[in-house]
Chains A and B, each alone.
Chain A
């Protein structure tokens, strides 16, 4: 039986580029662009972590004078809060998993030579990089960076006299976000077209690795959500600079009437959160896809419930557009609407729970290899559970009354979105580093990194739940003014010290990353014995990913532990085990 043969084709249409600029700066190669996104995110996360360290220091030592930076005034603290949140959510969580790893590995995992539109891909990176530069620029303009939080609620964000940093700094912030939206839409276009149109022969949708499903659904969410954020931003820019009143009613600041009337602050909240809720799923879905991949590879058995996992991600994506009001229970929105949103929010907890059960089901009965990617995958599941459990508290408006805008919320979203997603990024790095750089990362350093970070992040964010229940509000620059907060200061001190340790532990990762590129143990083409397409090709992959030949896919992506297989796994491209005997 002959397999289908292709007519002889010429070599891949766009040949490898020459010259430094074409190869590394304005590269059209999705692998290079993926690395560019990754290192952009790495830069951003270092900035973001530094900002949070300053925040934690200020909270327990409000009057300290820092070397070089001086005093941290209350408004400076709020600037740190705003920029930490904005930089982390956009330039780390929305950049590394999708723009970084998605760009690098989606085409390879589906058997394509590149993304559908390489020029657009290159542009999307540079627009995002420009957005980051504009965002950092906000620190350096008159008045400095804004203090209105990453959520930017007007009138605080719309009226320049509302606070320090709300002048040109806030304009830079909005413009940066608008640019980011454009970059994200361009990227989403590429991901969706590539997934739908460029899968290799035999790679049906239901044979795609769950990482590809995750990137695909994430891109759909991005496509539908970022346009809304863009619109919200345009309206805010107009209110700030053209005197319009989309968001701002008649307001009086320190006795001065500000010339707006009739606007609705709630309009911003609706538009922002219509984007904002899908955004949190954009941040977490790629990590979920990767976790599914890793628990299967490292348990040496198929993912439990592949179809259920796909449907769960699709449901999360769909329902994700119907729950935005749960950020607005206390906003002045109609309580009837609030009730409707709360039902939908409880509903979206269901597919997330299903995914957790399936991950556990994959571990059950496996032969678990606890290499560093798997440690982080298991860590991800634990953090996802912890962060997810606090969700049903906040989803019920009655319980949201005492908990809204307290540290309970901060603990919740850091665990389930921040740390879990970062663990996904770490896991992806340890897992795919051999394929990208041809070397293994140091396993001992990886373990130190894992244990310190896993325990450290729990020590930072679990106590925030207690503080929140006790009534500690969010975005307070210090706890010295309210009597009932005094007893929470020891808890906050503990959190700050945990933050010191955890942030320091990331230096191990950064060292390991760069050191291993040059001096890590050389890696084989498939060091983890995994079945997906990226492990069938050379390390690192050639310019057209597969060295001129088109892969043909015969099997699903999780054929591990197959009885009778000569090794304990069957590659996706393996037509059948040859009956040589």
Chain B
């Protein structure tokens, strides 16, 4: 058996971390990413991917926020009088938006319940592999389906709020402030709809016989995404209501 006696002095521990062929400490990553059936690895990776993705999405809303604030304070040259005037008049927001907010926050709760319920399914699934052990999967309310219903209700409510705004004469191009109301609520709605689609996929995962592990990862990632969308909505509402 060859003995690993180094005959070569690799300089510079900085780039060899430990020098002379020693392995660096284990950072908790299993390193062996070949076996991606490791649940922990897949979950961690999926969550990391979600955080990264949400950062990208956050930048979209950060730029809208920046445009919003800049536009509010921007005087414009009236070519008739050659004077600078401010043309920002906040839009009175429909009370319906508050109801929608409550619906969305409740959906966040049901989403979290769905997530934890699925987590329990994962834990129980490991037991069912033991011969002679059977566990009653307590079905009961599908929290996932309820979340989807609440999410769709929210989106319907947003649509109704738009109709109310239009009825009061506030269309997308009516004024700079109304443009932003439609823009921010619309972009959020599109992203939330994406979340609804993710819920559908997560819901079908069980029907399509994915493993409990995979089901949980889908539900978990969708769950955090959903919570982010709820928080984002609260942020948008506060921005529209309080920053003018």
Residues of A within 8 A of B (CB): 1, 3-4, 6, 9-10, 12-13, 112-113, 116-117, 120, 185, 188-190, 192-193, 196-202, 204, 206-207, 223-228, 230-232, 234-235, 238, 242-246, 249-250, 261-264, 267, 270-271, 274, 302, 306-307, 544, 548, 550, 552, 554-559, 562-565, 570, 574-580
By a CB distance below 8 angstroms, the chain A residues around B59 are 223-228
B34 close to A245 (CB less than 8 A): no
A555 close to B10 (CB less than 8 A): yes
CB distance from A472 to the nearest CB of B (A): 32
A230 close to B17 (CB less than 8 A): no
Q: Which among B10, B12, B20, B187 is the interface contact of A234 at CB below 8 angstroms? A: B187
B10 close to A223 (CB less than 8 A): no
Interface size on B, residues (CB 8 A): 61
In addition to A306-B14, A554-B21, A559-B10, 16 A-B residue pairs with Cβ atoms within 8 Å of each other are A9-B32, A10-B37, A116-B45, A117-B49, A188-B52, A188-B56, A189-B56, A193-B45, A197-B41, A200-B31, A206-B14, A242-B172, A243-B172, A271-B63, A576-B20, A576-B21
B33 close to A198 (CB less than 8 A): yes
CB distance from A111 to the nearest CB of B (A): 8
By a CB distance below 8 angstroms, the chain A residues around B2 are 578-580
Q: Which among B21, B35, B172 is the interface contact of A10 at CB below 8 angstroms? A: B35
12 A-B Cβ contacts within 8 A? A198-B33, A200-B31, A202-B31, A227-B58, A228-B62, A262-B87, A267-B74, A548-B34, A550-B34, A555-B15, A556-B10, A556-B15
B87 close to A554 (CB less than 8 A): no
B32 close to A550 (CB less than 8 A): yes
**B193 on the interface (CB 8 Å rule)?**
no
By a CB distance below 8 angstroms, the chain B residues around A556 are 10, 12, 15-17
A185 close to B8 (CB less than 8 A): no
- Residues of chain B in range 38-78 having any CB-CB distance to chain A below 8 Å: 41, 44-45, 48-49, 52-53, 55-60, 62-64, 66-67, 70-71, 74, 76-78
CB distance from A549 to the nearest CB of B (A): 8
**B179 on the interface (CB 8 Å rule)?**
yes
Residues of B within 8 A of A (CB): 2-12, 14-17, 20-24, 26, 29, 31-37, 41, 44-45, 48-49, 52-53, 55-60, 62-64, 66-67, 70-71, 74, 76-79, 87, 172-173, 176, 179, 183, 187
B15 close to A228 (CB less than 8 A): no
Interface of A is mostly: loop
User: How far does the alpha carbon of A544 sit from the alpha carbon of B59 in the complex, in Å?
Assistant: 34
- Find the A residue at minimum CB distance from B59: A227
- Find the B residue at minimum CB distance from A14: B36
- Find the B residue at minimum CB distance from A11: B34
By a CB distance below 8 angstroms, the chain A residues around B36 are 13, 113
Given A206-B17, A246-B179, A570-B8, CB of A193 within 8 Å of CB of B49: yes
